[in-house]
A and B are shown apart, each in its own frame.
Chain A
Amino acid sequence: MPRTQPLPGERANDPIVLALPKGRILKEVMPLLRHAGIEPEPAFADEESRQLQFATNRPNLSIIRVRSFDVATFVAFGAAQLGVAGNDVIMEFQYSELYAPLDLKVGRCRISVAESAELAGKDDPSRWSHVRVATKYPEITRRHFAARGVQAECIKLNGALELAPKLGLCRRIVDLVSTGRTLKENGLVEVEKIADVTSRLIVNRAAMKTRPAEINGWVAKFGAAVEAYARAA
């Protein structure tokens, strides 16, 4: 419906907002940001800070720090023009308004199906017609099982998935696995890998189309940073 606020695109030199995920990935992304020449204001490093939006050394670039799933949403809706999100999140939402032009090669892990070690010993996956799965990724899970003709009933949880099989909520989970230690500690084994996951630079489609020079400039800077970082490592 008709807008009530001024459109963000109305001023020249519009600010660009970069959405970053909180937590583990953030630490791995920061060196890339520095390579790309972005230095956030000091409050950004302060984990106690309640600030949500941060200025940088670039006058028209600011950073927001949100939950990893929300990065994709902010960028897809054009509230942020750039973001960093794992391809797990990108696959889950499949937003048509997102491009993922660059693999940042950080945050490496995989999204997998796991079940209790005891069940894995006697289970025959080819006989499944219906499974109940606890997951943060109901869409990926449903698609993955549907592709092999299995109906997946997904129980959406937001964390501590490993508890679900233990306490009898369901027998299988779909979750991110990096070292596999958490699974092991909870008596689970990885039975199937759905996809490899790394963090990607994501871009809002309309921003890419209406401001190609600026956006492609940032993609190139991040690309150079990924290469420089890979060489240094």
Chain B
Amino acid sequence: MTEAETTALLPAGLRDILPPDAAFAADLVQRLRACFAGYGYDWVDPPLVEFEDTLFDGAGAAMTNETFRLMDPVSQRMMGLRTDITVQVARIATTRLANAPRPLRLAYAGDVLRVKGKQLRPERQFTQIGAELIGSESEAADVEAVTMAIDGLTRLGVAKLSVDLTVPALVPQVLAALEAPARAAAAVRAALDRKDAAGVDVAAAPLGQGATVFGLLLRAAGTAESALDKLARIPLPDAARREADRLGAVARALMAALPGTAFTIDPVESRGLEYHTGVSFTIFRAGVRGEIGLGGRYLAGRAGAARAQEPGTGFTLYLDPILRALPEPKHGERIYVPFGTPADAAAGLRENGHRTVAGLAPEANGDAPAEARRLGCTHLWHDGRIVPVAGTGP
């Protein structure tokens, strides 16, 4: 046996999920699926691997560097392993379900694989659970996406959620209105990305008087109440003003609908929102590092294709930070059924929703409780009754 076989080393960023965590994770996915179904979202299940050209189409282009590729020996074409399921669902919506009535509501869960984990989230394979609402431009659609994400998380018991709202298109629109040269625009965006207010003022200075709005936008970030107030007073070019007003309307509707959730607004945020266009959001949970999920508006479909691109919104939740935000799962109740117990006794227990663990050989020294304890069972089937096993229990 080689050393690798004995130590079972896995490639970086990949891991085995063991009991009881694996069952717990599967249960969470199931509960979210039920929650989304309750809002009228139908389940879809795209494949793990697609041809590169469909995977990187439109919104997928942002993830080319993160994709594992392999050659399809059958068609001799390059394939890519999915890095994000949203793109696949958007593809389904605009091709195979192109004739389905709009708005189209689809939900999904599955694993994705990325070439590099981040330092803070080294996982290269992780589970996404999400929903997409395609074909509606309305504010109500934006509100539905956030509401459903928060509802799903709350039902799992993830409390103290905080939602950061933004419009990734806002800054590019102001830059475009100012006709900023590429170099100057990049300097402004870099300073905005650092949240460096003084740096923004310096970088924006060469762009003239109109560029002072970048500093104002950055300083407007904060709790939703204060940010909305400030945002309303910033002089913006028309296109950007429409986006900002939209953000304001969605934020007000959400604050009214979800009083238990904290809302912040950051008009200049762009991290993690590479392909989003309109109102977008990132979900945080105080004390859990990184984000729990994100979502927002994008354009579904291929730019320049015969069929026009469709407005879509939706969100993706990540299973691993959700698990970190919840108490550790425990093994549930399990009843040890000693060797020699008639089969119909155990069957009767299972019929009533119990979990049974059958003894396959006579217990050592005839000590059934000891054997139950050794196997991690909480209860024992003894004399036709369920008896708790001392020293165990959930």
**Residue B119 lies at the interface, judged by CB distance under 8 Å to chain A:** yes
B74–chain A nearest beta-carbon distance, Å: 37
Q: Once the chains are docked, how many angstroms separate the CA of A93 from the CA of B118? A: 11
A10–chain B nearest beta-carbon distance, Å: 6
The answer on a CB contact under 8 Å between B195 and A97 is no
**Residue A229 lies at the interface, judged by CB distance under 8 Å to chain B:** no
Q: Once the chains are docked, how many angstroms separate the CA of A93 from the CA of B320? A: 23
Mark contacts of B19-37 with chain A using CB atoms, 8 A cut-off: 1 yes-contact digit, 0 otherwise. Answer: 0010010000000000000
Q: Once the chains are docked, how many angstroms separate the CA of A208 from the CA of B264? A: 10
Chain A minimum-CB-distance residue to B272: A96
The answer on a CB contact under 8 Å between A212 and B264 is yes
A155–chain B nearest beta-carbon distance, Å: 22
The answer on a CB contact under 8 Å between B327 and A9 is no
Chain B minimum-CB-distance residue to A100: B194
Q: Once the chains are docked, how many angstroms separate the CA of A1 from the CA of B328? A: 8
**Residue A122 lies at the interface, judged by CB distance under 8 Å to chain B:** no
**Residue B40 lies at the interface, judged by CB distance under 8 Å to chain A:** no
Q: With contacts A102-B198, A206-B288, A209-B284 known, is A2 near B326, CB below 8 A?
A: yes
Residues of A within 8 A of B222 (CB): 212-213, 216
Q: Once the chains are docked, how many angstroms separate the CA of A210 from the CA of B285? A: 7
The answer on a CB contact under 8 Å between B119 and A209 is no
Q: Once the chains are docked, how many angstroms separate the CA of A78 from the CA of B290? A: 9
The answer on a CB contact under 8 Å between A101 and B195 is yes
**Residue A3 lies at the interface, judged by CB distance under 8 Å to chain B:** yes
Q: Once the chains are docked, how many angstroms separate the CA of A209 from the CA of B164? A: 7
Residues of A within 8 A of B118 (CB): 96
**Residue B113 lies at the interface, judged by CB distance under 8 Å to chain A:** no
Q: With contacts A7-B287, A76-B120 known, is A209 near B325, CB below 8 A?
A: no
Chain A minimum-CB-distance residue to B227: A212
Contact of A9 among B196, B264, B286 (CB under 8 A): B286
Residues of B within 8 A of A1 (CB): 21, 320, 323-324
B310-326 residues with Cβ-Cβ distance < 8 A to A are 320, 323-326
The answer on a CB contact under 8 Å between B328 and A2 is yes
**Residue B388 lies at the interface, judged by CB distance under 8 Å to chain A:** no
**Residue B199 lies at the interface, judged by CB distance under 8 Å to chain A:** yes
User: Which of A4, A9, A14, A212 neighbours the largest number of chain B CB atoms within 10 Å of its CB?
Assistant: A212
The answer on a CB contact under 8 Å between B323 and A2 is yes
The answer on a CB contact under 8 Å between A97 and B289 is yes
Q: With contacts A76-B119, A77-B120 known, is A206 near B290, CB below 8 A?
A: yes
Residues of B within 8 A of A208 (CB): 195
B120-177 residues with Cβ-Cβ distance < 8 A to A are 120, 160, 162, 164
Chain A minimum-CB-distance residue to B285: A9
- Chain A interfacial residues counted at CB < 8 A: 34
**Residue B197 lies at the interface, judged by CB distance under 8 Å to chain A:** yes
**Residue B223 lies at the interface, judged by CB distance under 8 Å to chain A:** yes
**Residue A99 lies at the interface, judged by CB distance under 8 Å to chain B:** yes
The answer on a CB contact under 8 Å between B324 and A209 is no
The answer on a CB contact under 8 Å between A209 and B162 is yes
A151–chain B nearest beta-carbon distance, Å: 19
Residues of B within 8 A of A211 (CB): 286
Residues of B within 8 A of A97 (CB): 120, 289-290
Residues of A within 8 A of B271 (CB): 96, 205
**Residue A63 lies at the interface, judged by CB distance under 8 Å to chain B:** no
Name A's interface SS.
Answer: mixed
Contact of B160 among A9, A99, A101, A204 (CB under 8 A): A9
**Residue A153 lies at the interface, judged by CB distance under 8 Å to chain B:** no
Mark contacts of B60-101 with chain A using CB atoms, 8 A cut-off: 1 yes-contact digit, 0 otherwise. Answer: 000000000000000000000000000000000000000000
Q: With contacts A10-B287, A97-B289 known, is A102 near B196, CB below 8 A?
A: yes
**Residue A17 lies at the interface, judged by CB distance under 8 Å to chain B:** no
Contact of A210 among B197, B262, B325 (CB under 8 A): B262
Mark contacts of B101-121 with chain A using CB atoms, 8 A cut-off: 1 yes-contact digit, 0 otherwise. Answer: 000000000000000001110
**Residue B282 lies at the interface, judged by CB distance under 8 Å to chain A:** yes
The answer on a CB contact under 8 Å between A206 and B223 is no
**Residue B329 lies at the interface, judged by CB distance under 8 Å to chain A:** yes
A69-85 residues with Cβ-Cβ distance < 8 A to B are 76-78
**Residue A203 lies at the interface, judged by CB distance under 8 Å to chain B:** yes
Chain B minimum-CB-distance residue to A206: B284
**Residue A196 lies at the interface, judged by CB distance under 8 Å to chain B:** no
Residues of B within 8 A of A204 (CB): 289
Q: Once the chains are docked, how many angstroms separate the CA of A206 from the CA of B284? A: 7
Chain A minimum-CB-distance residue to B197: A101
The answer on a CB contact under 8 Å between B287 and A8 is yes
Chain A minimum-CB-distance residue to B223: A212
A50–chain B nearest beta-carbon distance, Å: 28
A172-217 residues with Cβ-Cβ distance < 8 A to B are 200, 203-206, 208-213, 216
The answer on a CB contact under 8 Å between A103 and B196 is yes
Q: Once the chains are docked, how many angstroms separate the CA of A9 from the CA of B292? A: 14
Q: Once the chains are docked, how many angstroms separate the CA of A21 from the CA of B264? A: 31
**Residue A54 lies at the interface, judged by CB distance under 8 Å to chain B:** no
The answer on a CB contact under 8 Å between A100 and B195 is yes
Residues of A within 8 A of B24 (CB): 2
**Residue A95 lies at the interface, judged by CB distance under 8 Å to chain B:** yes
Chain B minimum-CB-distance residue to A7: B287
- Beyond the given A14-B287, A95-B120, A209-B282, please list 10 additional residue pairs across the A-B interface where CB-CB is below 8 A: A1-B320, A1-B323, A2-B324, A2-B327, A4-B328, A77-B120, A100-B196, A209-B284, A210-B264, A210-B284
* 9 A–B pairs (Cβ distance < 8 Å), ordered by A: A2-B329, A3-B325, A3-B328, A14-B287, A93-B119, A95-B119, A97-B289, A212-B264, A213-B222
